[in-house]
Amino acid sequence: MSGVRARDLSLEGFLAWEERQELRYERLGGVARAMAGGTRAHDAIANNLRALLWNALRGTACRVQGPDLKVVTPREDVLYPEALVRCGPADARATTVDDPVLVAEVLSEGTLQRDLVLKRLAYKTIPSLRAILYVWQDQPRVDVVRRGADGRWDDDEPAVGPDATLALPELGIEIPLAAVYEGVAFAGEE
């Protein structure tokens, strides 16, 4: 089913099918696609980001999760962000989330176009979502797309450089970019 049309499957049918597979599959615009592995930098950045969010949200009603939970959009896309934050009570047995307030994608060369265009459009359909983070792995940069009080999505707001701080007023927290990229060397660095 990888890379083929999955429109003939209902959301429930797709989720049941995917659960029986050895690989994880995203469904975007009716097309199912197997998830590929990532680089060491990708993994380190995603782990750092989840740990930083986890620590910053301690004592609140919000929790960071990912990358094994599926985000399901109102148009029945099924996505696996590297990190997501949702607030409030939750069913511990659930494998899907339909009400995140924040999602984060670590950008890879092979998925850049899909993440920045197709997945962005899918994420923007989620009523609860307040921020989308695009975390670059070849430079210390995080672009934030925010939903304003009027419900409209603002232009990307970049935090760039190791001395920058990622401000997330949606959650009442700030995260230093140096910590997001801890242990990651960029081209030209040792």
Separation CA 89–CA 141 (nearest Å): 32
Q: Give the tens place of pLDDT for each residue, 156-177.
A: 999 999 999 999 999 999 999 9
Query: Per-residue pLDDT for 109 more than 60?
Result: yes
Q: Give the tens place of pLDDT for each residue, 48-57.
A: 999 999 999 9
Query: Per-residue pLDDT for 4 more than 80?
Result: no
Mean pLDDT of 137-159: 94
Separation CA 175–CA 87 (nearest Å): 19
- The model carries a pTM of 0.91
Q: Give the tens place of pLDDT for each residue, 67-98.
A: 999 999 999 999 999 999 999 988 889 999 99
Separation CA 31–CA 43 (nearest Å): 25
Query: Per-residue pLDDT for 124 more than 90?
Result: yes
Q: Domains in the chain and their CATH numbers? A: 1-35 (no CATH), 38-180 (3.90.1570.10)
Dmax over CA atoms of the chain, in Å, equals 50
Instruction: Give 67's Cβ-side CA count (13 Å radius).
Output: 21
Separation CA 17–CA 146 (nearest Å): 33
Instruction: With H, G, I as helix, E, B as strand and everything else as coil, classify residue 6.
Output: coil
User: How high is the mean pLDDT of the chain?
Assistant: 91
pLDDT band at 63 (very low <50, low <70, confident <90, very high): very high
